[in-house]
């Protein structure tokens, strides 16, 4: 096993991962004490893994901690990796018959295949879960099973209280993951769910009571949704469609008062497919954005295919339509000029649509942690409300309706234009025009989680209350057009 290490023998990590490593290094000496405090929970977890993983198999555990779970399944060959150096040192001391290595889960460097891969209660610590799943494929054979456990989000207040009073090991919850989020990320990386469910309703041991509740009551309909532990068992999809590198890309950037972000957008957008063109549509700015676009065009026109124009109407929706009219690519993409969606994430959208994972690819900002001030609390509540409403309206899961990053093929956009009269010209933002249009065409909608960043220049063009009221009216409008037609 090889690792990326510096001259001091330490793992090379990003700032965020380094903070997680130090956090768990500090907790390593206390880990066994917390396990003893919650022995009933951990014993049940081990029982779950033993039931689903036959003994004497080759097993890899990602985020192995002290290695107790890995040891409990009695592997023929057991390998554990963890970002924490102290945890790995403790695992080696406790289980010298198993292999352990400090390793970044997003950069698995193991030249071996395993029958089972365990990811137990650790997904919330990964910076990029999709990248972790992509790396897992390298250690899987055709029959490998991925066994994942995670905590039910409904238990968050109780778990936080348990941490506060010292009954549970402190944890930094990094990702807003639920079962559907995990299944979606697995799907994007060519895994299919074999089995999923929830278990374990009463995590503290009360003689007779706990056993009865967890064995019988916890498995009853409705009550089962309240269980603490969620689990997913997945396998690799066979005959996976590869990336079509012959597709060309058009990225439309609607820019109003975004002067400070224009050059960064050009420098940070990766080139994808056989050709990538970048189209700026400027929306009557007062900070010199149009002049900045002209300057950037002259500076980079020999390196990048750049187009630009002034917007004739008002609103982002109008700007996006103009940009799509100018586009020549097979795939049409929208990138917000504030760069709160990192341009570096755009290949994830290209991979999803070019490999046939979906026909309308929507960004989701509500999975990974956001930078401070990236989204206000009321905006988060609004997004969650519209997520529930639109998932119900469309009959397809949609967690983040308002993320500006959306991708579809030129062919399907042409069909959407032809059907636009059904809904009419009602949406100044453009998000719902595309979402409703995709739903009307019965396109498969897939979401790609992205890291939502704080803007580095300028102020948002969104008014929470006036625009929120307008969006609410759109929901009512859509009910009549989609559900109550």
pLDDT (tens digit per residue) in 290-324: 999 999 999 999 999 999 999 988 888 899 999 99
> Taking 90 as the threshold, does the pLDDT of residue 23 lie above it?
no
Backbone φ and ψ of 226, nearest 5°: -90, 0
Instruction: Tell me: do 386 and 279 sit in the same domain.
Output: yes
What is the per-residue pLDDT for 145? 97
Instruction: Tell me: do 170 and 307 sit in the same domain.
Output: no
Which of 91 and 21 is assigned the larger pLDDT? 91
Instruction: Tell me: do 401 and 365 sit in the same domain.
Output: yes
Instruction: Tell me: do 357 and 224 sit in the same domain.
Output: no
What is the per-residue pLDDT for 177? 79
The arithmetic mean of pLDDT across residues 84-111, rounded, is: 95
What is the per-residue pLDDT for 58? 98
Instruction: Tell me: do 333 and 184 sit in the same domain.
Output: no
> Of 236, 271, 305, which residue is a domain's last?
236
* CATH number for the domain harbouring residue 113: 3.40.50.150
Domain span at residue 99 reads 15-236
Which residues lie below 8 Å from residue 260, measured CB to CB, with a gap of 6+?
Answer: 456, 457, 458
> Taking 70 as the threshold, does the pLDDT of residue 188 lie above it?
yes
> Taking 80 as the threshold, does the pLDDT of residue 28 lie above it?
yes
Instruction: Tell me: do 450 and 305 sit in the same domain.
Output: yes
> Of 175, 206, 236, which residue is a domain's last?
236
> Taking 50 as the threshold, does the pLDDT of residue 7 lie above it?
no
What is the per-residue pLDDT for 2? 46
Number of domains comprising the chain:
2
Instruction: Tell me: do 258 and 224 sit in the same domain.
Output: no
Instruction: Tell me: do 31 and 180 sit in the same domain.
Output: yes
Which of 162 and 264 is assigned the larger pLDDT? 264
CA distance 431 to 406: 8
117, containing H or E segment? strand 114-120
Beta strand spans in 205-351 (E):
229-236, 248-255, 275-282, 305-310, 331-334
Instruction: Tell me: do 128 and 267 sit in the same domain.
Output: no
Q: Would 6 be classed as within a structural domain?
A: no
> Taking 80 as the threshold, does the pLDDT of residue 175 lie above it?
no
Q: Would 30 be classed as within a structural domain?
A: yes
Q: What is the mean pLDDT of the chain?
A: 88
> Taking 90 as the threshold, does the pLDDT of residue 421 lie above it?
no
Six token digits for residue 120: 């137990």
CA distance 306 to 262: 12
Per-residue burial over 319-344, b = 16 or more CB atoms within 10 Å of its CB, e = otherwise: bbbbbbeebebbbbbbbbbbbbbebe
CA distance 123 to 126: 6
Q: Would 344 be classed as within a structural domain?
A: yes
Six token digits for residue 414: 């042409």
Q: Would 243 be classed as within a structural domain?
A: no
Which of 42 and 390 is assigned the larger pLDDT? 42
* CATH number for the domain harbouring residue 424: 3.90.550.10
CA distance 381 to 262: 30
Instruction: Tell me: do 68 and 168 sit in the same domain.
Output: yes
Q: Would 9 be classed as within a structural domain?
A: no
Instruction: Tell me: do 254 and 227 sit in the same domain.
Output: no
Q: Token match 């900045």: residue?
A: 292
What is the per-residue pLDDT for 373? 46
What is the per-residue pLDDT for 251? 98
Least confident of 75-84, 264-273, 348-357, 359-368: 359-368
> Of 210, 236, 262, which residue is a domain's last?
236
What is the per-residue pLDDT for 5? 56
Least confident of 53-57, 222-226, 441-445, 478-482: 478-482
Q: Would 8 be classed as within a structural domain?
A: no
Least confident of 86-100, 314-328, 434-448, 452-466: 452-466
The arithmetic mean of pLDDT across residues 418-435, rounded, is: 76
Instruction: Tell me: do 320 and 232 sit in the same domain.
Output: no
Q: Would 7 be classed as within a structural domain?
A: no
What is the per-residue pLDDT for 374? 46
What percent of the chain lies above the pLDDT cut of 90?
A: 61
The arithmetic mean of pLDDT across residues 231-250, rounded, is: 92
Q: Would 259 be classed as within a structural domain?
A: yes
């Amino acid at each position: 096993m090889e690792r990326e290490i510096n001259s001091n023998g330490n793992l090379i990590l990003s700032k965020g991962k380094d903070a997680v490593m130090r956090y768990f290094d500090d907790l390593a000496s206390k880990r066994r004490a917390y396990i003893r405090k919650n022995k009933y929970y951990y014993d049940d977890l081990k029982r779950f893994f033993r039931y689903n993983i036959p003994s004497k198999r080759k097993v890899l555990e990602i985020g192995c901690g002290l290695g107790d779970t890995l040891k409990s399944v009695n592997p023929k060959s057991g390998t554990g990796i963890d970002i924490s150096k102290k945890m790995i040192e403790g695992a080696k001391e406790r289980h010298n018959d198993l292999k352990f290595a400090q390793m970044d889960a997003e950069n698995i460097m193991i030249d071996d295949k395993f029958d089972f891969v365990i990811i137990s209660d650790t997904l919330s610590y990964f910076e990029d879960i999709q990248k972790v799943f992509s790396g897992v494929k390298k250690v899987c054979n055709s029959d490998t099973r991925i066994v994942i456990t995670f905590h039910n989000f409904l238990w968050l207040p109780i778990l936080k209280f348990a941490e506060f009073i010292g009954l549970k090991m402190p944890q930094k919850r990094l990702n807003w993951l639920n079962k559907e989020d995990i299944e979606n990320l697995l799907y994007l990386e060519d895994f299919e769910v074999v089995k999923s469910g929830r278990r374990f309703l009463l995590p503290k041991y009360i003689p007779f009571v706990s056993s009865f509740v967890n064995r019988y009551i916890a498995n009853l309909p409705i009550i089962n949704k309240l269980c603490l532990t969620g689990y997913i068992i997945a396998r690799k999809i066979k005959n996976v469609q590869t990336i079509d590198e012959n597709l060309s890309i058009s990225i439309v950037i609607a820019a109003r008062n975004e002067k400070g972000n224009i050059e960064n957008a050009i420098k940070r957008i990766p080139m994808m497919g056989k050709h990538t063109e970048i189209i700026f549509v400027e929306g009557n700015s007062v900070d010199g954005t149009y002049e900045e676009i002209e300057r950037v065009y002259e500076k980079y026109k020999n390196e990048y295919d750049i187009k630009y124009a002034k917007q004739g109407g008002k609103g982002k929706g109008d700007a996006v339509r103009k940009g799509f009219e100018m586009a020549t690519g097979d795939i049409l993409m929208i990138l917000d000029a504030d760069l709160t969606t990192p341009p570096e994430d755009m290949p994830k959208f290209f991979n999803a649509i070019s490999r046939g994972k979906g026909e309308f690819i929507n960004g989701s900002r509500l999975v990974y942690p956001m930078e401070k001030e990236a989204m206000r609390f009321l905006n988060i509540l609004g997004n969650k409300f519209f997520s529930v409403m639109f998932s119900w309206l469309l009959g397809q899961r949609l967690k983040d309706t308002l993320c500006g990053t959306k991708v579809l093929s030129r062919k399907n956009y042409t069909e959407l234009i032809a059907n636009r009269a059904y809904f009419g010209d009602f949406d100044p933002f453009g998000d719902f025009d595309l979402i409703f249009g995709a739903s009307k065409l019965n396109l498969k909608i897939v979401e790609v989680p992205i890291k939502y960043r704080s803007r580095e220049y300028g102020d948002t063009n969104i008014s929470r209350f006036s625009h929120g009221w307008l969006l609410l009216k759109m929901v009512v409008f859509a009910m009549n057009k989609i559900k109550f037609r």
